[in-house]
Amino acid sequence: MKKVLLALLIVTMVVGGAYAQKVYRVGVSMPSATHGWMGNANWWANRAKTDWEKRDKTVQIELKFSGNVNQQVADIEDLLVKKVDALVVFPHDTSVTSIVEKAFNQGVYVVVLDRGVSKEGIYDIYITNDDEAYTRKGMEWLAKQMGYKGNLLLITGIPSPIDTIRTDTIKEVVKKYPNIKLLDVQPGDWNRQKSLTVMENYLQKYKQIDAVYTADDDMMLGAMQAYKESGRKDIKYFLGGGCLKSVIKEIMDDSNPLVKADVTYSPSVIATSISYAVIGVKGEKLNPNVYQVRALPRRIILPSELVTRENAKDFYVPEAPF
């Protein structure tokens, strides 16, 4: 159906020639959903597509989800064959640099997310979440709750540059408070099941634990499961991140004594990027109230915010999948 429509559109474009409006085609390439957060990001991408295509008939958005970086490069190549006007890339890793550069040099309007490319000046806009603030805000909050003392355990994500920044930030904050003891750091691979196993081992190994910090909410749920099964009563705080819907709900309703806060690392960053790509490729300007240059900014760092009971409802998106 979609194909027929597409073909029809192309025909209209060719035949309609002069009076056909310019159609802006935006290609989006991002990882497929392998964990909750990315699942949310996929959902946001779809939402941006639906919203834009409803709002503006001159916009067409094509989404490509890929399981690995080789596939992602192939996807981008395919999008270039299809002659997209703008390209949004949420990279698996920096291996996409050369293909992104190729797209940019072909005159495609390029929006890159996160620390995805290893070269400057090959994109129009660069958007990222603030990985450093993400754990800094979280850790500062946690330290305060702990009364700046006690035993802390850490479960990190898949070993990767992003993960290293986050973990290093946590360690840096902990160092400021000599009475907080970081007992152990183990990877939970952004995977609930792996995190559960890691937590089970922790519980065997450490007799007194005060707080557990996991690199995202998925892993926090796994760790908390292990803790509940153990029947122990020593842990006072669990902190994850990334704002899973169920976790935000718990914070909002204050229904879980162990979970009192979360930190945003918004999966909607992809939707934001798509919007910027559309605005950018159409050559539209920013709101005139801005005193600066009114073209879009080249580098955007989205803030990480601490979510507590007071502001949780602002971050609760009931229709999001996770």
Partner 1 sequence: MSATTAKKIDLEKYGALIALGALFVLASIIGWPYFIRPENLVNVMRQSSYTGIIALGMTFVIISGGIDLSVGAVAAFVASCGVLFMNWVLQATGGNEVLAILGGVSVMIALGFVTGALNGLLITKGKIVPFIVTLGTMSIFRYLSLQMANAGEFASQSQLYGTFGMSKIFEFTVGDQAVSLPVPVFTMLALAAILAFLLDNTRYGRYLCAVGSNARVAQYSAVRIDRVRFWAYAINGMCVGASAALLAARFNTVSTPNFGLGSELDAIAATIIGGTAMAGGRGSIWGTIIGVFMLQFIQNMLNMAGLSPYLQGVVKGIVIIGSVYIQKQRQ
128 contacts partner 1 (rule: CB under 8 A)? no
Among 66, 169, 268, 304, binds partner 1 (CB under 8 A): 66
160 contacts partner 1 (rule: CB under 8 A)? yes
Among 12, 159, 310, 311, binds partner 1 (CB under 8 A): 159
Among 12, 34, 50, 164, binds partner 1 (CB under 8 A): 164
Q: In terms of C-beta distances under 8 Å and separation of at least 24 residues, what long-range contacts does 103-108 make, across chains too?
A: 103/76, 106/80, 108/80, 108/84
Reduce the DSSP state of residue 211 to 3 states and report it.
Answer: strand
Q: Looking at beta carbons only, is 128 or 230 nearer to partner 1?
A: 128
Of all helices (H) and strands (E), which one includes residue 163?
A: helix 161-176
67 contacts partner 1 (rule: CB under 8 A)? yes
Longest dimension (CA), the chain: 76
What DSSP assignment string belongs to 2-50? HHHHHHHHHHHHHHHGGGSPPPEEEEEEEE--SSHHHHHHHHHHHHHHH
What is the smallest separation between the CB atom of 70 and partner 1, expressed in angstroms? 7
| Closest to 198 (Cα-Cα) out of 211, 181, 212, 210 | 212
Give 239's Cβ-side CA count (13 Å radius).
29
How many angstroms separate the CA atoms of 269 and 282, rounded? 20
Q: Looking at beta carbons only, is 95 or 186 nearer to partner 1?
A: 95
How many angstroms separate the CA atoms of 122 and 282, rounded? 19
What is the smallest separation between the CB atom of 92 and partner 1, expressed in angstroms? 6
What DSSP assignment string belongs to 113-159? ETT--SSSSS-SEEEEE-HHHHHHHHHHHHHHHTTT-EEEEEEE-SS
**Residues in 68-107 at the binding interface with partner 1, rule: CB under 8 A:** 68-71, 73-75, 77-78, 80-82, 92-98, 102
What is the smallest separation between the CB atom of 199 and partner 1, expressed in angstroms? 21
What is the smallest separation between the CB atom of 235 and partner 1, expressed in angstroms? 28
The window from 136-144, 153-161, 280-288, 304-312 that contacts partner 1 (CB under 8 A) reads: 153-161
Q: Looking at beta carbons only, is 71 or 308 nearer to partner 1?
A: 71
What is the smallest separation between the CB atom of 178 and partner 1, expressed in angstroms? 27
Binding site for partner 1 (CB under 8 A): 2-3, 6-7, 10, 32, 62, 64-71, 73-75, 77-78, 80-82, 92-98, 102, 118, 158-161, 163-164
